[in-house]
Amino acid sequence: IPAGGVCEVDNNHCSGNMTCLPNKACGCDDDYYVDSSLCLAKIPPGGTCAADKPCSGNMTCLTSNSTCGCDSDHYVDRSLCLTKIPSGGDCSVNKPCLSNMTCLPNNTCGCNDDHYLDDNNSCLTRINLGGNCAGNTAFCVEDTTCDSDSTC
């Protein structure tokens, strides 16, 4: 029975990669999509995708190059997009930090010494001597302070 065809839930006679749904119609299994009443495998990471050729897992079709992938705050793990690790979280080669952070030697995500963590959980470049530090010494390069006129 093709996709959309009538079936009996307790007697599944649907075609390959399909299941008889509670509404008694054949539907595609997870990670398959309907194409001309057949169920085809969704596109894997890095594969070419389009509106009528969806990506597998929770990946999206990236508009920049029409390939399946994750947005910049996620990484691919076995066809799934998992959230990159935030500041202070445990990281490794297989569990990367958010794009603007690094995995420090103690295997936690954080900023390099020449950066600071802002209120949006982003690592920003520290301000050089003479730059505007907005009243916060944490923004200044190492061994400098933010003086009363907000200058490092």
CB-based burial of residue 127 (10 Å sphere; 0-12 exposed, 13-18 middle, 19+ buried)? buried
pLDDT band for position 103 (cuts 50, 70, 90)? very high
pLDDT digits (tens, 9 = 90+) for 115-135: 888 877 888 888 888 888 876
pLDDT digits (tens, 9 = 90+) for 3-14: 888 888 777 788
Q: SS3 of 139, please?
A: helix
pTM: 0.60
- Please report where in the chains the tokens 């916060």 appear, as a residue: 136
87 vs 119: CA distance, rounded Å: 11
Token digits for 17? 């990669």
pLDDT digits (tens, 9 = 90+) for 64-74: 899 999 888 88
Report pLDDT for 137.
67
120 vs 123: CA distance, rounded Å: 9
Rg (CA), the chain: 25
Per the prediction, the chain carries an average pLDDT of: 87
Hey, where are the domains in the chain? Answer: 1-41, 42-83, 85-152
Please provide residue 82's backbone torsions phi and psi, each rounded to the nearest 5 degrees. -105, 150
Residue 140 has pLDDT above 90, yes or no: no
Q: Where are the alpha helices (DSSP H) in the chain?
A: none
